[in-house]
Structure 1
Amino acid sequence: MKEREHYGLSTAVSMIVGISIGSGIFFKSDDILQATGGSVWLGVLVFAIGAFCVIFGSITLSQLASRSTKKGGVISYYEEFVSPRFASAFGWFQMFVYFPTITAVVSWVSGIYTISLLDLTMTLERQTLLGFGYLSFFFLMNYLSYKLGGRFQNVTTIVKMIPLIGVALIGLFWTQEAPALPQDIVAVESSVVGWGFLAALAPIAFSFDGWIVSTSITQEVKNHRKTMPIALTIGPLIVLSVYLAFFLGMIAIVGTEYILSAGDQAISQVGNSIFGASGEKILLAFVLIAILGVVNGVSLGYIRLPQTLASKSMVPFSDKITQISDKKGLSPYAALTAYLITVFWLAVHYLTQRFDVLAGGDISEIAIVFSYVAYILLYVKVMGLKKSGLITSPFLGTIAPVLGVTGSLIILLGGIVANPVYSPLFLLFSGSICVLGYLYGVRGNSSEEVDL
């Protein structure tokens, strides 16, 4: 059954913006300022460097998106331009690790902010149960109605922009003095950090993660050969603009010293400064909406993934999973498979948090670092297309891929520095899943060669 073209440019862009802008931006300003020693313009520079590394990666992949004739997003790029076996390897990673771990974690985070908003007692069990409820709701909604999923994504993307742009605009005209620090907070002054400011690149790069999910609906986007390259270019640029505007607006309202000293608590003071005593709750409501937009966007892309892999006979029980409902336009078995894998990872996440297995980290770190490493092979392939003359632009065929590779290596370095003990284990685990997928994909393709 041929995929129907449901979505337009606005939905593709809103998926990129909606998934990339989650809760992280509300709590990244203090990390950036701390890494830059309180230098605002150095922080802006680092934002730009980190963001453009990601942007060049998306621009590079847009060259494959515009030439792809198959469904599956990044998986189809591997299949068409690298090798079906490598496509199977990456597909297994996305299906069994990347999508479900991210979906499980952001669902759990939604539970955290719901509890905060409602002033309930904060427990891991309550957070997890609420997260389970959220992910169940969004999986069901996106299966029952593609229109509701797309509309919710568009609406939440717009809604979450309100506090970000609002803080940015208010900051332009803010004339009040910076608030005094609470007595229980020790003042932290600006300092010279030298090359230490590069430590800020990793959290910035991580805050952009999610843009790749939009490629999973490529074949369902109207005129996708022209639309997806535009979306993959515009989306990250919008995210960068919003991040920078909010960063500067927040600094204008509470000042660098307050952000350096109060850390994550600074966002509450921004709400109090603008809206008064109820300001914190107002911002929490917007943050919750932002995260729910991420849950919806990731689940919207994920429920199609098992169906895509099954259509290429890359997973067990492919005959069953490829049975598409004429009414829904999706496979119920694919949706159920994605849902059950996500529930499994949510249970794993609960256990790792309960027993502090990951030393303050979470299971999504497994996916985020490895995924960027995996993109390097596609960036190299684009450079190969330039060498063969299929891409004539030096910028699109050489400069953008090189900068994309650089961005991926920065993220890898940042992940290892942030968690030197567990990151290598995450990479090894993800690599093992890829090996299993590769071996499964070997069936019937033993004579295939990889030409880079």
Structure 2
Amino acid sequence: MEMGLKKKYGLFTAVAMVVGIVIGSGVFFKAEAVLKATGGNMPLGIAAWGIVGLIMIICSYSFATMATKYEKVNGIVDYAEVSVGKKYGYYVGWFIAVIYQPTITSVLAWVSARYTCVLIGWDITGGACMTIACFYLVASFAINSLSPVVAGKFQVATTVIKLIPLLLMAVIGTIIGLSNGMTINNFSHTVDSSISVGGGLFASVVAVAFAYEGWIIATSINSEIKDSKKNLPKALMIGAFIVVAVYIFYYIGLAGVVTTETLMKSGEAGAKLAFQNIFGSAGGALVFVFVIISCLGTLNGLMLGCSRGLYSLAIRNAGPRPDIFKQVDSITDMPTNSSVFGLLLCGFWLLYFYGANLTSPWFGVFCFDTSELPIITLYAAYIPIFIMLMKKERDLSTFKRFIMPTLSIIGCVFMVVAAYLAHGMSVVYYLIIFAVIMIIGSVFLEKRSKNELA
């Protein structure tokens, strides 16, 4: 049955979506990566967390400004369509539905499985881990597809749960570190001084981007948020500030209980080791269970966005078979067909992630990190939207129309440059894959009437 999605989420759930989708695996998954990228330079790592956090807050503000004016089906696609044009909106929607959302969702499924295997003591790249990752994907899909209200409540619950280990580490770790001198020691020396400040900063910024990503997915449910023109902007800004504060203080707390050298060498067990140093083996394992729940909460939020990917195009009579993908189940109030295709894409990108990053490369030079490059591509896609925001929205104040969009553009350009400097030629090979997928999307675009695109 075809129908519109009902308004079922309030402000608290919307804030939980922003915080819950962003905070999760990334802060645990990328903390070690940041230290390795900076050569163990803790202040430089903090700077990376701060810079990307500031960029997220600035971009969130600009999109929050647009959220007060426009409300359709999928926030970012709506903003791209209204500001730049229907064609651009379509391509942004296609990229998000086919590349962006399923790539980071599949990575989150693996990261959730990874920490499960760390807790149990299993290999993080073997068959057991990948089997668990597949299960987590399907389970998240089932929760979102069968009962979106339950999925929303799960999101709120996991958001609260995931803040527990982060706040415990931020508070207790900082107190312990300041009392025993470890915090000062970690902040006052660099493990590998051969890594340049510039190179370390750019590489860590790109790594941190994954930890902060996902906030834009919250706009995919704007048509389902009660009084969304008022509540979505609030959710974006409140959520962004909460995330930045929690991340930076967690990182400082981490420096109080584990030496930089140990954290860099311990790999995937770094977070578990840090919690065990505070709470002992049993207590550390219990807190680590909260970490896994945190990851699953993020996965749930990302799957929520994935399930609406093709629906957001189909409702505009765009993309493949709009008549199929814009159908909404009358009982569950979910775009079931879009959800199924979203799961299929997640499975495909999980397979690619394994073949490109977790084993001997299957795809030769066409192997790239799906946890980072698609995210940076989206930042590049924001730039024309911010430019047109300045050009078109003449009723806005100077601050909202010019200052914040300009700062947003500068932040996006910085992210793009950082990605190229960090990944080099991998960016080029990624862009080739990106171009092929976008060309496929253009085939479906041509099927729309020229009048609709005028």
Shared fold (TM-score, shorter chain, > 0.5): yes
1:277 aligns with 2:267: no
Q: Deviations over 1:314-361 (max 9, x none)?
A: 122211222222111123212212122222222333333333247885
5+ residue gaps, structure 2, are none
In the alignment, the residues of structure 1 paired with residue 66 and residue 351 of structure 2 have an alpha-carbon distance, to the nearest angstrom, of 36
Q: How far does the alpha carbon of each residue in 1:11-35 deviate from its partner, in whole angstroms, 9 at most, with x for none? A: 2222221121222212544554566
Inter-partner Cα distance in structure 2 for 1:196 and 1:95: 32
Give the equivalent residue in structure 2 for 1:184: none
Q: CA deviation at 1:173?
A: 2.8
Deviation at residue 98 of structure 1 after TM alignment = 1.1
Residue 396 of structure 2: aligned partner: 391
Q: Deviations over 1:173-203 (max 9, x none)?
A: 3234549x9xxxxx93779955455333322
Q: Tell me, yes or no, if the aligned pair for 1:271 and 1:282 is still in contact at 8 Å.
A: no
Q: 1:309 aligns with which of 313, 317, 327?
A: 313
- Within the candidate set 360, 364, 372, 1:355 is matched to 360
Cα distance in 2, alignment partners of residues 367 and 26 from structure 1: 20
Change (3 A) 1:94 1:32: closer
1:224-249 Cα distance to aligned partner (Å, 9 max, x none): 00111111111111110001111111
The amino acid of 1:150's aligned partner reads G
1:163, CA displacement in angstroms? 0.9
Query: Counterpart of 2:103 in structure 1: which amino acid?
Result: T
Residues 7, 220 of structure 1: 8 Å contact kept: yes
Counterpart Cα distance in 2 of 1:282 and 1:172: 20
Deviation at 1:95, TM superposition (A): 1.4
Note if contact 2:77-2:90 (Cα within 8 Å) is conserved in structure 1.
Answer: yes
Letter in 2 for 1:376: I
Whether the 8 Å contact between 2:37 and 2:200 is mirrored in structure 1 is yes
SS at structure 1 position matched to 2:72: coil
- Equivalent AA in structure 2 for residue 99 of structure 1: Q
Alignment match, 1:166: 168
CA contact (8 A) 2:169 2:253 kept: yes
Equivalent residues in 2 for 1:380-419, closer than 5 Å: 380-386=387-393, 389-392=394-397, 394-419=398-423
Shift of 1:365: 3.6
Q: CA separation of 1:374/1:162 partners in 2, compared to 1, >3 Å: closer, same or farther?
A: same
Write the distance in 2 (CA, Å) between the matches of 1:261 and 1:135.
30
Q: Runs of 5+ in structure 1 lacking a partner?
A: 182-186
- Distance change in 2, residues 1:85/1:54 (3 Å): same
Partner in structure 2 of residue 198 of structure 1: 201
- State whether residues 272 and 280 of structure 1, in contact with CA within 8 Å, keep that contact through their aligned partners in structure 2: yes
Q: What letter corresponds to residue 188 of structure 1 in structure 2?
A: V
Question: 3-state SS of the aligned residue for 1:267?
Answer: helix
Q: Does 1:208 align with 2:198?
A: no
Structure 2 vs 1, CA of residues 33 and 308 (structure 1 numbering), >3 Å: closer, same or farther?
closer
Q: Which residue of 2 aligns with 1:323?
A: 327
1:370 equivalent in alignment to 2:377: yes
Shift of 1:131: 1.1
Cα–Cα, structure 1 residues 256 and 347, in superposed 2: closer, same or farther, change >3 Å?
closer
Contact 1:60 1:401 in 2 (8 A): yes
Question: What pairs with 1:40-439 in structure 2 (closer than 5 Å)?
Answer: 40-174=42-176, 175-176=179-180, 178=182, 188=191, 194-196=197-199, 198-199=201-202, 200-256=204-260, 259=263, 266-352=270-356, 353-357=358-362, 362-386=369-393, 389-392=394-397, 394-439=398-443
Helix, strand or coil at the partner of 1:253: coil
Aligned-partner Cα distance in 2 for 1:138–1:226: 29
Q: Judge conservation of contact 1:106–1:291 (CA < 8 Å) in 2.
A: yes
Query: Which shifted more, 220-229 or 32-41?
Result: 32-41
- Offset of 1:268 from its aligned partner? 3.7
Q: 1:66 to 1:439 in 2, by over 3 A?
A: farther
Aligned mates of 2:343, 2:112 — CA distance in 1: 17
Q: Cα RMSD (Å) of the superposition?
A: 2.8
- Cα pair distance change 1:73/1:188, threshold 3 Å: same
Cα separation, 1, equivalents of 2:247 and 2:382: 24
Check the 8 A contact 1:88/1:314 in 2, yes or no: yes
Structure 2 Cα separation of the partners of residues 330 and 216 of structure 1:
13
Separation in 2, partners of 1:128, 1:269: 23
Secondary structure at the counterpart of residue 70 of structure 1: coil
Q: Structure 1, residues 61-104: CA drift from partner, whole Å, max 9, x if none?
A: 11222211311221121222221111221121111111111111
Q: Distance in 2 between matches of 1:117 and 1:194?
A: 35
After TM superposition, the structure 1 stretch with the greater mean CA deviation from structure 2, 433-442 or 17-26, is 433-442
Asked if 1 retains the 8 angstrom alpha-carbon contact of 2:210 and 2:372, the reply is no
- Calculate the TM-score normalised by the size of structure 2: 0.88
Q: Report Cα offsets for 1:384-405 as digits up to 9, x if no partner.
A: 134xx1322x222122112212
Structure 2 distance, partners of 1:85, 1:309, is 11
CA deviation after TM superposition for structure 1 residue 427, in Å: 2.4
Aligned pairs, number? 441
Q: CA deviation at 1:219?
A: 0.4
Deviation of the 1:47 alpha carbon = 2.7
Q: With structure 1 as the length reference, what TM-score do the two structures score?
A: 0.88
Q: Please report how far the alpha carbon of residue 436 of structure 1 lies from its aligned counterpart in structure 2 after TM superposition.
A: 3.6
